[in-house]
Chain A
Amino acid sequence: MASAASEEAVKAAKVLMVGAGGIGCELLKTLALTGFSDIHLIDLDTIEVSNLNRQFLFRKSHVGQSKAHVARDAVLKFRPKINISSYHANVKDAQFNVDFFKQFNVVLNGLDNLDARRHVNRLCLAAEVPLVESGTTGFLGQVTVHVKGKTECYECQPKPVPKSYPVCTITSTPSKFVHCIVWAKDLLFAKLFGDKNQDNDLNVHSKDGSSSKSDVFERDVDEDLDQYARRIYDHVFGYNIEVALDNEETWKNRRRPTPVYIRDTLPEETVQQNGTSRECNNGHEEPSAMASLGFRNPQEIWTLADNSRVFLETLKLFFEKRQKEIGNLIFDKDDQLAVELVTSAANIRAHSFGIPLHSLFEAKGVAGNIVHAVATTNAMIAGLIVIEAVKVLQGDYKNYRMTYCLEHAKRKMLLMPVEPFEPNESCYVCSETPLLLDVNTKTTKLREVIDKIIKSKLGMNLPLVMIGSTLVFEDGDGLEEDEAANYALNLEKVLAELPAPVINGTKLTVEDFQQELSCSINIKHREEFDEEKEPDGMVLSGWSAPVEKQVTSNGGKLAASSSSAHDTVGDASANPGTKRKLDEVLESKENCDASSSAQVIEDDDDTIMLDEDPTLLKKKRSQ
């Protein structure tokens, strides 16, 4: 609301925006129009074509350029007098430390991944700067306010972690299309074109040892490309299935898969036939099996035969046109040929296991964990962020709201405000409650605990691990050589054999200086873990679901015109379960939407979950 006081607060404010993507573009525009005149903007991404349908500050000519810089320039065109500082950088970089954060009156997040969100949350807590957090998926969205000591922090509610699948489901007993995608992407694609030194669970041995090779994926220098493609086909879709079938125990209560051989799927086609069309491929265009085979429609579900043609063609194109990249490739959803290979391979495997086939468009969504996005939701969410930011600047904490943007109106509301919750007393991020780790101290290496728990689950960037007063590990630059060597040695030791042994009852202290976060982990020794349910071989707990108490504004009522006795949000405060229920509603909706386009969504409604850190992926690619 444009009262004189709020206008002053806006004018004087220095704000940090993290993310210049879907929400970020809208937010930067709305901030500038509202009168904000000192805005700092961080984004490490560059612009892609699939951004242009909603990230309206970008044009086709900007593809490949920094989002932060282009967004800044675009907004300065209509508000030339304001100050926008743009950083084409990762918010996790050391330059954005607690001191950097302290200069701002409020931080506004328009991020697309959990990792960065958690990092910013911690820095905001450490710097004591209020955070307005947001997220969207399709028509759904939400805006929340996090002010230290007043409301819950972003991590007070445990966040769903990326779904991982037991190895055997992927290698031997897939039951969903997504399992076939994971197999095609993480095993087959990685085996064919990725780093040869990486562990891979694909069977590489052939039946009779007739081949001299120990690894059937190796191609002889003089081996015909067609022959090679067909050999790989028969091995992964035929022979490997036969091997799996030998294990009778597996199939007692399961449908038995059918091996697929190229002589059955494409009986008419001789070896040479496929190769001809490729030659008319325009040299300037990205190689594509769809293009060379004349398939136009990515929405179409190909037959088994067509999938087989695409598979052979992609393999050949990789070897013919992209030979140099082989050995260094990582799956990327924007790499057309890679998507074609993964789609066709997943479909052929799906056929074997009696799982319905999917179109390339759908398969790409599953493989790339693509989150649905439209401009309208982002625009509304950005508007709501600014409204909350203005309240934060005025310290109007009684009126802070978290707002849900809904697809189906709930009690007449499409935009539903809810009072924020109090901090969760057992939150390990904003309180000092210790966590509990069940782990086999005799077999688990320190490295596993650091990777799977401290980095992945606790989201620490540069962790330090202490046992009592003994420092066993520290990350980051500036270490002495002998220190670094010592820590490297410790990483490979099992917990019980560390310089200060970790056994049942030991307390670990882990810290991240950049995030100024410290927490304690009590160790409980356990020997047995369920491979299906506890694939990490360790279980972190003690981060109990919070007792839900809302910040009490006087009378717990909403301001102004909502004075009617049973006003909708009033109901919410009377019923502590409401927020959770709403989350469930949002989630179920999502799953329902997803069913039409395969199991795209395995994640939270406000985060894109990637199997790999996308920043890492980009860095690797650009090297």
Chain B
Amino acid sequence: MGGAGAEEELTAQETALYDRQIRVWGVDAQKRLSKAHVLVCGVNGTTIEFCKNIVLAGVGSLSLMDDHIVTQDDLNANFLIPPDESIYGGRSRAEVCCESLKDFNPMVRVAVAKGDPSLIDGEFLDRFDIIVVSCRPLKTKLFINDNCRKRSKHIAFYSIECKDSCGEIFADLQNHSYVQKMPGKEPEQQELTYPSLQEAISVPWKSLPKKTTKLYFAMRVLESFESSEGRNPGETSLSDLPAVLARRKEMCDRMSLNESQIPTVLLERLLAAGKKEHPPVCAILGGILGQEVIKSISCKGDPMKNFFYFDTADGKGVMEDVPPTPAD
């Protein structure tokens, strides 16, 4: 708590605007937020929800990296793109959304970061405290996560994917210390150590608890299939089912997991989803990620470790700790 640079007071303007949320997380957290810099690679309906949340919350700056030219498809779950080709035509997703986001909170700097996420270098990363990646190949995610870990500066890494009616968030906060406040107890300092993305997706399945959500396994099968085919996340259709089922068999055999742990219907749903995002799911995932990033920046509150899943089929939003933290 406290920490360097937290001495300055919030301006009257900030106090008035942030009144209701300061009552939730305190002035100190608000000051930390206003000094945090966030990079989002991959602009879609889900990350836009997240962007909206943290711009409203009052982060220091938000940079958007996505050079793809806006197409009709991008409009489906994205409320920042007006359905008018004369506005979005020929412009990148980052550019169009950046413009709309600026309006949300004049106290936050929102900018476009040009470039290719798969080529991000270490020094560039140092400009940020939080990196969020979405809809990029596993290879790119691993590369960025690995680079974040190599920097001496603490950079938190998140990956987020929406598959129509369900979704996954991954978090790597490396070593994270924070103040835990449980009902009826004194605040306590806590330390957490996170595995890297590579570690978190390579855990032998046999070592995981039986109750681990099926989405964890299903997402690994899908990811493995997409990587081997050189596809981006979501570049799939139901016609890929036979190949994906073969992939499931191969992985389950190798890691001694019963194939029934990854139901065919679930894989079908994920394949059929393709790049489709269901707006209520975007709102839920973007809300959770927003909250997680705020917790991470403010060092207040139990952060998610290290996966979060939501599925409209059962309505649950669950956290999974992979590999499980050994009990003391």
Q: Is the CB of B183 within 8 A of A592?
A: yes
Cβ of B82 and Cβ of A417 under 8 Å apart?
no
Taking a contact as CB atoms under 8 Å apart, the answer to whether A375 and B82 are in contact is: no
| B220-228, B230-238, B315-323: which lies at the interface | B315-323
List, in ascending order, chain B residues with CB within 8 A of A415's CB: 284, 310, 315-317
| Complex Cα gap A562–B146 (Å) | 34
A2 within 8 A of B: yes
Bound Cα distance A56, B314 (Å): 29
* Max chain B Cβ within 10 angstroms of own Cβ: one of A53, A60, A138: A53
Decide yes or no: A78 and B315 within 8 Å by CB, A53-B18, A54-B56, A588-B184 being known contacts.
no
Contacts of A377 in B (CB 8 A): 287, 291
Bound CA span A593–B215, Å? 34
Contact in complex: A379, B286 (CB < 8 Å): yes
**With A2-B278, A34-B280, A373-B24: A387-B312 Cβ-Cβ less than 8 Å:** yes
- Which among A2, A296, A372, A409 has the highest number of chain B CB atoms within 10 Å? A2
B164 within 8 A of A: yes
Count of chain B residues near A, Cβ 8 A: 77
What is the total number of residues of chain A having a CB less than 8 Å from a CB of chain B? 72
- Cα-based distance from A53 to B315 in the complex (angstroms): 28
B84-110 toward A: CB 8 Å interface, digit per residue (1/0)? 000000000000000000011110000
A52 to B: closest C-beta gap in Å: 6
Cα of A527 to Cα of B284 in the assembled complex, Å: 55
Q: Cβ of A80: which chain B residues have Cβ within 8 Å of it?
A: 83
Query: Using an 8 Å CB-CB cutoff, how does the interface string of A591-620 with B read, 1 for contact, 0 for none?
Result: 111001100100000000000000000000
Q: Name which residue of chain A comes closest to B58, CB basis.
A: A53
> Residues of A contacting B311 with CB < 8 Å?
560-561
Tell whether, in the assembled complex, residue A376 and residue B290 are in contact, meaning their CB atoms are under 8 Å apart.
yes
In the assembled complex, A49 has its CB within 8 A of some CB on chain B: yes
Is B111 interfacial (CB-CB < 8 Å)? no
Q: Is A370 an interface residue (CB 8 A)?
A: yes
**Which residues between 42 and 87 of chain A lie within 8 Å of chain B, taking CB atoms?**
49-50, 52-54, 56, 59-60, 75, 77-80
**Is there an interface contact between A30 and B279, defined as CB atoms closer than 8 Å?**
yes
Give a binary string over B199-242; 1 marks a CB under 8 Å from any A CB, 0 the rest. 00000000000110111000000000000000000000000000
Judged by a CB distance under 8 angstroms, whether B126 is at the interface is no
In the complex, whether B43 has a CB less than 8 A from a CB of chain A is no
A412 at interface, CB cutoff 8 A: yes
A53-B57, A372-B24, A417-B316 known; A588+B183 contact, CB < 8 A: yes
Docked-complex contact A383 and B284, CB < 8 angstroms:
yes
Q: Which B residues are CB-close (under 8 A) to A413? A: 316-319
Docked complex Cα distance between A163 and B222 (Å): 54
- Distance between B75 CB and nearest chain A CB, rounded to angstroms: 8
A297 at the interface (CB under 8 A from B): yes
By a CB distance below 8 angstroms, the chain B residues around A574 are: none
Q: Is A524 an interface residue (CB 8 A)?
A: no
- Could you jot down 8 A-B contacts, CB within 8 Å? A33-B45, A54-B20, A370-B19, A372-B23, A376-B294, A379-B53, A413-B319, A564-B210
Please name 14 further chain A to chain B contacts, defined as beta carbons within 8 Å, in addition to the given A372-B23, A383-B287, sorted by A numbering: A2-B165, A26-B283, A54-B56, A370-B23, A375-B57, A376-B291, A379-B52, A382-B280, A382-B283, A386-B283, A408-B183, A561-B214, A561-B215, A593-B181
